[in-house]
Structure 1
Amino acid sequence: MNKNEKIKLLADLVAIRSMNDNEEAVAEYLAAFLDKYGIESEIVQYAPHRANLVAEIGNGPPVLAFSGHEDVVDAVGDWNTDSF
C-alpha cells in the first residue's frame, strides 16, 4: 500500500459511524478491504449490529494475534464540525 492508500483506509474507517456497539459496518468494510488483497476473513455476528472480524494469513508458527476495538465511544460535547 502506498501512503495515499493508507490515508484513505484510515479516513474511511474514521468516517464509519461505529458508536457504542455498532461495529458491524467496520467489520464489513475491513472484510472487503482484506478481500482485495486475497486475504480471507469471516464476520462473526453475536448481536444486532455487533460483529467481530477474524482473518488468518499463512499457517503454522509463529502465530501473531491482534485484537482491537471496531467501535468508538459516542462523541459528546459541542463540535464545530462533524466528528466523523
Structure 2
Amino acid sequence: MSQIIRRIGVPPSARGSAGGGNCPDIFELADGNFAVIGTDQTDKLDGQLPPDASRASYERIVVITRDTLIKAKGDIPDL
C-alpha cells in the first residue's frame, strides 16, 4: 500500500467545514495515484453509469463536492 505524501487542494477547514462532518479530501500517494475521501454513493449511482463505464466489485463510486475539486485543481499535476 502506498503512502500519502500530500493533500491536493486546501484542507476542509478552509472550505468551511468547521465541525469535520463534511470533509471530502484528495491526497496524492507516493506511487503517483490519488486517494479520495468522499461520500459512498455506489448504490445510488451504479445503475446510472454510461455503457462504456464499469467498476469492479471492490471499487466504490465516491462523491466529493464541486468546491473540493475546484480548489484542488491548481495542485493536480498536468502529467
Q: TM-score, normalised by structure 2?
A: 0.28
Question: Whose helix fraction is larger, Structure 1's or Structure 2's?
Answer: 1
Question: Whose strand fraction is larger, Structure 1's or Structure 2's?
Answer: 2
Q: TM-score, normalised by structure 1?
A: 0.27
